[in-house]
Amino acid sequence: MQNSIIVTGGAGFIGSNFIHRWIEMEDASVINLDKLTYAGNLASLQAVTESPRYQFVHGDICDQESVRRLLETHAPRAIVHFAAESHVDRSIHGPAEFVRTNIEGTFKLLEEARRYCESLAPVARERFRFLHVSTDEVYGSLEPQGPGFCETTPYAPNSPYSASKAASDHLVRAYHHTYRLSTLTTNCSNNYGPYQFPEKLIPLMILNALQGAALPVYGDGEHRRDWLYVVDHCDAIRAVLVKGQPGQTYNIGGEQEMSNIEVVNIICEVLDKLRPAARSYSKLVQFVKDRPGHDRRYAMNISKIRRELGWEPKESFKSGIRKTVEWYLANPQWVSGVTSGSYRDWIKKQYQGASN
Ligand code: NAD
Ligand code: DAU
């Protein structure tokens, strides 16, 4: 067994940030298996392409034979599994791809990880880890004043996306329980930061504002999310990989719960300072038709990871959002690369005729 790790979905938002952080902080190599869907972007990895410790492999996690060959070739000590269809609105328009990648893909990876582990000597098998990156959305929606989700909160997924992630979490749990595969599951709240595809709230608002386009806030804008700067998430995953107990799940969050309208107004304030326009960007806010089945509130209780692994978020929303806006302003080339024809088609499909 080598010291390398395999990351799936490393050309996406969190995966690419994770690879940057890995190369910066660790000595081991990383192999990135990614299908390069609309959300995968090799431009997000330009800074590590030349590193001798980084390798890209174009492939699909649902292609079991290729996954098997990859494991045989690289004999990794861990798989960190990010690859997924990740956007709730797209799961409402077309759930099939979510079932395929998130459930079937995770199943095939688990099967190959199990087979690979069975071929290892006991010490190497003991050391191997399968880390599954999941979401707080599997827990459903919180009451306005209730406590945050903890690891024992019952699953109650409400969208095709969260249902597919919940199914994959259950498979991971079963592979630990039945086959003793050394799995770890992380359930994280909303991430934001560099390299996020602008279908998600924060980059969409930044880029629309810069173009003078409407800022479409769903429903009454009072839905609440717990925001975490992506680099903090990457550090939490590294901590779980090293110190997490096999078979356990860890909730990760930023303890920065806010309503969507608060988030959008803060983005506008930051832009008003960094890129002043004739009038405040907040004048562009438009309340639009709500997302079907829209979860009202998420918040994370992170006492377990704080207590057991000593991880906690470093970035506040105020500091993280400023870094994020600065990053989008400083990277117009990356932005124009992802706002191509197919992106414009998505925006049309999702927002045309959406106004209240
Ligand atoms: P993303 O959509 O930005 O990236 C997904 C990546 O997976 C892309 O590079 C894509 O090409 C790749 N991919 C998709 N299908 C594939 C397949 N069949 N085979 C190989 N690669 C494939 O997603 P993200 O926001 O970076 O999220 C990464 C993971 O973290 C997901 O599992 C998601 O559920 C989870 N998560 C995301 C957030 C968030 O706020 N973004 C929060 C908690 C958990
Ligand atoms: O909670 C973790 C999850 O966070 C991850 O598992 C998902 O992969 C990730 O996409 C994210 O899901 P959300 O649905 O919470 O993120 P999104 O950025 O799509 O939306 C955040 C909130 O903003 C949500 O309440 C919907 C709202 N919204 C979103 C968009 C795109 C708007 O009001 N307007 C918009 O145009």
- Domain span holding position 119: 5-193+228-252
Nearest to 188 by CA among 222, 223, 128, 139: 139
Task: Check whether residue 145 and residue 206 sit in a common domain.
Answer: no
Ligand 2 contacts CB of residue 169 (under 6 A)? no
Nearest to 285 by CA among 265, 269, 257: 265
What pLDDT band is residue 340 in, cutting at 50, 70 and 90?
A: confident
Ligand 2 contacts CB of residue 90 (under 6 A)? no
Does residue 346 belong to any structural domain of this protein? Answer: no
**CA 41: distance to chain centroid?**
14
Per residue in 23-65, pLDDT tens? 999 999 999 999 999 999 999 999 999 999 999 999 999 999 9
| Phi/psi of residue 17, nearest 5 degrees | -65, -40
Q: Which of 34, 112, 137, 235 is catalytic?
A: 137
Per residue in 98-129, pLDDT tens? 999 999 999 999 999 999 999 999 999 999 99
Ligand 1 contacts CB of residue 184 (under 6 A)? no
- Mean pLDDT of all residues belonging to the chain: 97
Split into its structural domains, the chain has a count of: 2
Find the mean pLDDT for residues 227-253: 98
Instruction: Tell me the percentage of the chain whose pLDDT exceeds 70.
Output: 99
Does residue 354 belong to any structural domain of this protein? Answer: no
Task: Check whether residue 112 and residue 179 sit in a common domain.
Answer: yes
Does residue 349 belong to any structural domain of this protein? Answer: no
Nearest to 252 by CA among 273, 270, 237, 271: 237
Determine the pLDDT at residue 354: 80
Q: What's the CATH code of the domain at 106?
A: 3.40.50.720
Does residue 310 belong to any structural domain of this protein? Answer: no
Give Cα separations from 85 to 8, 82, 142, 252, 342 (angstroms): 12, 10, 24, 20, 16
Task: Check whether residue 111 and residue 237 sit in a common domain.
Answer: yes
Rounded to 5°, the CA angle 62-77-179 comes to 65
Task: Check whether residue 267 and residue 175 sit in a common domain.
Answer: no
Ligand 1 atom with the smallest distance to the CA of 81 is 32
Residue closest via CA to ligand 1's atom 33 equals 86
Task: Check whether residue 44 and residue 15 sit in a common domain.
Answer: yes
Residue closest via CA to ligand 1's atom 4 equals 12
Does residue 76 belong to any structural domain of this protein? Answer: yes
**CA 273: distance to chain centroid?**
29
Rounded to an integer, what distance in angstroms lies between the CA atom of residue 299 and that of residue 136?
8
Q: What's the CATH code of the domain at 335?
A: 3.90.25.10
DSSP 140-163: ----TTSPPB-TTSPP---SHHHH
Task: Check whether residue 167 and residue 206 sit in a common domain.
Answer: no
